[in-house]
Structure 1
């Protein structure tokens, strides 16, 4: 190879290398407000799903569905699990499941391990009594054709175990004493065939049983919680982070769970957001914002609707 040709190839390789996107750097996405107010009352800690190619908002007052995030119709499907701050719904095998029934608050409550199933998104069927673990503050997810639960808590303690179920009714504890210890309110997403467990730290697993630490802190020197985790464009997006007791509107993005980049968002600071990926976009609504005194905050609740999409 002649020297000029070799030199030209070196320049081409250098230019190509400098144009490779760095892990965690967001692509060109922008937020757009779709509605100043959704048809539901202002609230937080409810769920937004993409199910049967339709957006579904599972609110304490009922359910609404939409094809575009702007025009919503109320469904006859009622809120089956009651207090959605403690328990979740989960899409599974082309149906929607409600895991448990919780009435009350952390100080005084009633829990029933009832499982509700809706095949038509209009009515609930109560399935047979289950051995669903009697706990709350966990987020169920689907992996390898099963529903999984990691950790959670009851009134006495947090847990460091994993349960799964092939039907939502019969549950089996598959591992205990996990390396990340007792925890609750973890967000779990799937990216590139790996599970990512997110709290203030990040752990990942290829099989749901064996876990490795990706980073001990998502934001160095800060404690973050209260966010919603969504996967879009080959990245994990964290929306509505509470940092050291203060809510923020900054979104955190990572392609590997280790390196995180911040991206400013135009919506008001908040946590407890309802969000999901749908047709290559992220939709979000709800959430709450606290005052400066985190010990006695005056909360402001939201019901505006936003979408994140490529420019």
Structure 2
């Protein structure tokens, strides 16, 4: 009897484990072209793909419609869109590459997700790239980033996307770019290879020097799901991986395998209680010099 009871407990625990989050492929080839470093956003109960070669939307994550909404910031690998005050903002215009480019501090706005208005052609937006703007406490924020000469350790905020104020010149985390910033339980997390946290976006405390001790982690997209921070599309020591990392506190991280191919620069967001992921690239290493780009679509549920 005791053996039978033990077996039932074991089978029950095994069943619970099997009922954990699982990745499911929605599409081998989504309607948008293969690419990387673009955005997937959840806006007003609709999922939006903001791609350098077009915009698509879906209300269920399954069926997609091409949108007439254009891409005014131009090179999406360098600048971002951000949803703020019930409108989508495009911060700046960037054309070219890191060696030779044209930057304009134009601010674009769309409230209907069909057309753009120009809020300003000469805003006070910091003239830089490789940062991810975020909304927090009724303000827009920019942390770090870089230009052709240097990277930055400063913090800027704005109430409208046009007028910007530098609130910190030299933050304790030092110069950095391509930081991911998420909010979990009213606390901000600044993620690169290290992790910092703040309750006001101004005062920061270091949580860990390395997400994975002994490894350099970068190139990922961070989302918050089920009270954990999830890092998707990690590059480990210069090699792409399909293994995802997750943490409930930003200090201790766990790894989980994923069935999609190794890649970085993915587009991901949380939509209707699930993580959606698409895009990304793989390659650029000595053993795989050619880059492979993706446009498959996955969901974690």
TM-score with structure 1 setting the length? 0.90
Residue 62 (structure 1) shift = 1.2
Partner Cα separation in structure 1 for residue 294 and residue 85 of structure 2: 32
More contact order relative to length (CA 8 Å, sep ≥ 6): 1
Moved over 2 A (4+): none
1:1-311 pair list within 5 angstroms: 28-128=20-120, 129-293=122-286, 297-309=289-301
94-103 vs 122-131, which deviates more?
122-131
2:289 & 2:243 partners in 1: Cα distance?
20
Q: Match of 1:203, SS?
A: strand
SS of equivalent to 2:215: coil
- Give the secondary-structure state (helix, strand or coil) at the position aligned to 1:91: strand
Deviation at 1:68, TM superposition (A): 1.6
1-structure distance, mates of 2:60, 2:279: 17
How far apart, in 1, do the equivalents of 2:55 and 2:66 lie? 6
Name the SS of the counterpart of 2:126 in structure 1.
coil
Cα contact 1:69–1:305 (8 A) shared by 2: no
Q: C-alpha separation between the residues in 2 aligned to 1:179 and 1:124?
A: 37
Q: What are the Cα deviations for residues 206-257 of structure 1, in whole angstroms up to 9, with x where unaligned?
A: 0000000011000010001000000000000000000001000000000000
How far is 1:291 from its partner?
4.8
TM-score normalised over the length of structure 2: 0.92
Q: Once the 2 structures are TM-superposed, how far is the Cα of residue 297 of structure 1 from its aligned partner?
A: 2.3
Calculate the aligned-residue CA RMSD, in Å: 1.4
**Secondary structure at the counterpart of residue 127 of structure 1:** strand
- 1:130 aligns to what SS in structure 2? coil
Q: Which runs of 5+ in 2 are unaligned?
A: 1-12
For 2:214 and 2:129, locate their aligned partners in 1 and report how far apart those are by CA, in whole Å: 28
Mapped to 2, the partners of 1:68 and 1:228 lie a distance apart of 22
Matches of 2:22 and 2:201, distance apart in 1: 33
What SS does structure 1 have at the residue aligned with 2:22? strand
CA drift of 1:292 comes to 3.9
3-state SS of 2:182 partner: strand
Distance in 2, Cα, partners of 1:221 & 1:172: 37
Rounded to whole Å, the distance in 1 between the matches of 2:284 and 2:29 is: 22
**Gap change, CA 1:239 and 1:93, over 3 Å in 2:** same
Distance in 1 (CA, whole Å) between partners of 2:285 and 2:88 is: 39
